[in-house]
Amino acid sequence: MADASSVVIHSAWQKIFDRFDKDKSGTLDINEIKDCLKILLGTDVPANMFETAMKKFDKDESGRLDVQEFGNLITDLNASRKSYTEEAAFQNQGSILGKDKKLPFQDTVNNIYHNKLVASFVAFCIIGNFAINILEKQIDPNTEDLSYGDFWYNADVTLNIIFLFELMANMYAYGGPVKQFWASGWNIFDTIIVLVGVLTMVNVLGPPLDKLKLMRAFRVFRLFKRVQSLNKIIVALLKSIPGVINAFVVMLVFFCIYAILAVELFRDFGEGGYYEVHDSTTGEVY
């Protein structure tokens, strides 16, 4: 059965391969692969994204893909079509300068921002910020008499600056405060948290707005954006909301039914401001 499935899959690869092998050379050159990916993804493929795919699947570094290498590319594309499409759309979105124009070094900033080392460093800072908030409330709960006020202040300023630069890099990678940037709920959340942190850092918020600094504790939720496994949990919880709401509606209906029955059956109970209690052991009524 497995061999039969492999034959069918390989046959499908071959049909697609033959369709784009315009010169019938038995391999696909750069232009043929670009045409293939453009049709399969429904959008233009950015140069850097195309180069990454070629490095990954062109094992013999010939600059061309044979049937097997092309099949590996198609398999990866089918398994991760959403990420391919989102990446292509991201790369093609342009910037605040225009749809087809990008900011200077925009792709470079994007690559640095999504680098695993950078992502790990930011995640470490988020965890560190959360740990410092816990220690501050444990050691110095009285904000009017802080024992280590300078340390808490310096740590807060340092982390605020790091998060501000991270937000600016993320926004720059999108091409500025464009529509695609604000389309992400995580980006909106990041902006609010960082903005509140900066405003409290420079002391421009007076009472009662100064209480917004308590939102610093919510920075740890930004970790869910950085760690994919945690992000999946949050996404799953959000997707479960419609089903939970339906269950809540059903429970509400049952509560209302029993409320109607209770009123009908026990509306005379306690009438006049008193009610009778029967003692089952003595038979007396109180």
- Whether the model clears a pTM of 0.75, i.e. scores above it, the answer is no
Question: What is the total residue count of the chain?
Answer: 286
Return d(Cα 223, Cα 212) in angstroms, integer. Answer: 20
Q: What is the pLDDT along the chain (286 residues), one digit of tens a residue?
A: 445 445 445 666 677 777 777 777 777 777 777 777 777 666 666 655 666 667 777 777 777 777 777 777 777 766 666 565 656 555 556 677 777 677 888 878 888 887 888 888 988 888 888 888 888 888 888 877 878 888 888 988 898 899 899 999 988 888 888 887 887 788 888 888 888 888 887 777 666 766 676 777 777 777 777 676 777 787 788 788 888 898 999 999 999 999 998 888 877 776 666 666 766 677 666 6
Asked if 39 and 45 touch (Cβ cutoff 8 Å), the reply is no
CA distances from 91 to 106, 179, 194 (A): 10, 14, 26
For residue 255, the model assigns a pLDDT of: 93
d(C-alpha 48, C-alpha 147), whole Å? 52
In this structure, the dihedral spanned by the alpha carbons of residues 84, 89, 95 and 98, taken in order and rounded to 10 degrees, is 140
**Cβ-based neighbours of 104, under 8 Å, separated by 6 or more:** none
- pLDDT of 98 reads 72
CA distance 213 to 197: 7
Residues 6+ apart with CB under 8 A from 132: 152, 155, 156, 159
